[in-house]
Amino acid sequence: MKTRYFALAVILALLALSACGGGQDRFEQVGYYKAEGVNAPNRVFSYFVSDFDDSEDLWADLQKHAQGRMYSEGGTTLVFYFNDRQHTPDVTQVGSEFPASYESDCVAAFWKYATGKEDFRRYPFK
């Protein structure tokens, strides 16, 4: 009897893990910046999106992925997605102040503001 419950638990765990994946292995984190000041975004992430395609499924995955990034109440979080690995900035030192030369490869951006308001944009620099 215990073996049957154990097998069922393993199967359910595997199903839950596969459902949570949702294409998220397509997103490679290149940089992460965290600031303690109140005059700048508290958290900034940059991601490379492998096998980028302009599909509604991908846009939904991007937004869901962005909403899952760390957020501190009263802070601001920015998440940038790029479709060219060589032109994905490492924001670890610069935060959201990366060079403008990267903007053409930015396919999506997500902002979560101190008020809790969220804003997801496709091609934010075009």
What are the DSSP calls for 61-125, one per residue? HHHHHHHTS---TTS-EEEEEES-GGG---TTTTTT---GGGGGGEEEEEEE-TTS-EEEEESTT
SS (H, E, C) 5-68: HHHHHHHHHHHHHHHHHCCHHHEEEEEEEECCCCCCCCEEEEEEECCCCCCHHHHHHHHHHHHC
Question: DSSP class of residue 126?
Answer: -
Q: What percent of the chain has pLDDT over 90?
A: 65
What is residue 8's predicted lDDT score, i.e. its pLDDT? 37
What is residue 108's predicted lDDT score, i.e. its pLDDT? 97
Instruction: Tell me the backbone φ, ψ of residue 33, rounded to 5 degrees.
Output: -125, 135
What is the average pLDDT across 12-30? 58
pLDDT value at 47 more than 90 = yes
pLDDT in tens, 51-72: 999 899 999 999 999 999 988 8
pLDDT value at 7 more than 70 = no
Contact (Cβ atoms closer than 8 angstroms) between residue 58 and residue 81? no
pTM of the model: 0.78
Ranking 5-19, 41-55, 58-72, 92-106 by mean pLDDT, the lowest is 5-19
User: Collapsing DSSP states into helix, strand and coil, what is residue 1?
Assistant: coil
Q: Which residue has the higher pLDDT, 32 or 38?
A: 32
What is residue 40's predicted lDDT score, i.e. its pLDDT? 62
Q: Over the Cα atoms of the chain, what is R_g? A: 17
Q: In angstroms, how far is CA 107 from the centroid of its own chain? A: 12
pLDDT in tens, 11-20: 433 333 333 4
pLDDT value at 104 more than 70 = yes
